[in-house]
Amino acid sequence: MFMYKIGVVGDKDSILGFKALGISVFPTTDAREASRTIHKLAKESYAVIFLTEQLAKDLDETLEAFKDTVTPAIILIPNNQGTLGLGMKGVRDSVEKAIGADILFGKEGR
Amino acid sequence: MARLNVNPTRMELSTLKKRLKTAKRGHKLLKDKQDELMKRFIDMVKRNKEVREAVEKELTLAFKDFLIARAVMSSEMLEEAIMYPTQRINLEVGMKNIMSVNTPVFKLVTSDIEEEKASSYPYGFANTSSELDSAIQSLQGVTEKLIELAQVEKSCQLMANEIEKTRRRVNALEYVMIPQLIETVKYITMKLDENERGNRVRLMKVKDMVQAR
């Protein structure tokens, strides 16, 4: 069976550890470069790309572009300064998109 | 609701009636699909939330370990130590069909690069700190979960898309197509009945005139 790869994009300090596990690491702190990297990885056989939230906050368009495709899955992870809550926001967004109201998280209006 | 622009003939009437029947059937099927998708989606997204919470917690801890390791060692040393991993992680990607939504199934495949079974720490212990060991260990522990998160979260996104699409279709059928068709069928029936009555009156009139002579 054809093997897909895993990639991690983020700032070097956070993601370097993944390299020791044999996951490809693409250190960058620049949003545009990250966007380029993601597009490049998508063309190659990367099935999962982990992206730090720190970078993801400026990369809405890039994330949107890969929402409808099965691979690659771009998954947001916190970096070493903790989470920005963007990953959770992504989950909440898909709930709102599907159901029309946020039933999992918010207790608004109740 | 506006009716369709068609000629009021028997021919049209029967085709429209057929279309209405199909539209109603389609609506029912799509509605069922939407309900089932919704059910699956809610289960899935709950799981997604749980997994994400767990992953974020563990990952933050792992990063903290790593940060400490980085602080203890010089960065050249650190980079040198993990430069050349002893294993490679690949993914097997399968497909799972959930209510006609193709969702990915990821499976981790760890393969050793070296022939002999090396330890998963790619460095000698002489020049590295124990913090690095524990950082790598905790990262290793979280990898499996990360992949699960990737699978669940991607599935959720895809299903959310599909649900949105289905909902649009259901609504279009329910609030546009079906009322339009009903309206048009009614219009044609009325028109045909009116013609029928007109015809009958004319015939009666003609009969009266013939008798009066």
Does the beta-carbon distance from A4 to B91 stay under 8 Å? Answer: yes
**Nearest by CB to A94, which of B45, B82, B95?**
B45
Q: Are A90 and A67 in contact (CB under 8 A)?
A: no
Q: What is the pLDDT of residues B171-200, one digit of tens each?
A: 999 999 999 999 999 999 999 999 999 999
CATH superfamily to which A5-81 belongs: ATPase, V1 complex, subunit F (3.40.50.10580)
Does the beta-carbon distance from A98 to B140 stay under 8 Å? Answer: no
Chain B residues 133-152 with a CB less than 8 Å from chain A? 135-136, 139-140, 143, 146-147, 149-151
Q: Does B68 touch chain A (CB under 8 A)?
A: no
pLDDT at B135 over 60: yes
Q: What is the pLDDT of residues B84-125, one digit of tens each?
A: 777 778 888 888 888 888 888 888 887 766 655 556 676 767
Which run of H or of E encompasses B207? Answer: helix B178-212
pLDDT band at A110 (very low <50, low <70, confident <90, very high): very low
How many other C-beta atoms lie within 10 A of the C-beta of residue B168?
11
How many angstroms separate the CA atoms of B44 and A45, rounded?
26
Min CA distance, B192 vs chain A (Å)? 44
**Nearest by CB to A4, which of B52, B93, B149?**
B93
Which run of H or of E encompasses B164? Answer: helix B130-172
- pLDDT of the residue at A109: 38
- pLDDT of the residue at A105: 65
Residues in chain B: 213
Q: What is the pLDDT of residues B8-45, one digit of tens each?
A: 899 999 999 999 999 999 999 999 999 999 999 989 88
Min CA distance, A63 vs chain B (Å)? 12
How many angstroms separate the CA atoms of B94 and B106, rounded?
6
Does the beta-carbon distance from B156 to A94 stay under 8 Å? Answer: yes
Using a CB-CB distance cutoff of 8 angstroms, which residues of chain A are in contact with residue B143?
21, 23
Q: Per DSSP, what are the bridge partners of residue B114? A: none
How many angstroms separate the CA atoms of B95 and B146, rounded?
18
Q: Is the pLDDT higher at A80 or at B147? A: B147
- Name the residue in chain A with its Cα closest to that of B87: A22
Enter the pTM of the model: 0.82
Query: What letter represents residue B17's amino acid?
Result: K
Q: Is A59 helix (H, G, I), strand (E, B) or coil?
A: coil
- pLDDT of the residue at B188: 94
Using a CB-CB distance cutoff of 8 angstroms, which residues of chain B are in contact with residue A77?
55-56, 59, 146
Does the beta-carbon distance from A77 to B151 stay under 8 Å? Answer: no
Q: Does B197 touch chain A (CB under 8 A)?
A: no
Q: Are A9 and A77 in contact (CB under 8 A)?
A: no
**Domain ranges within chain A, ordered by starting residue:** 5-81
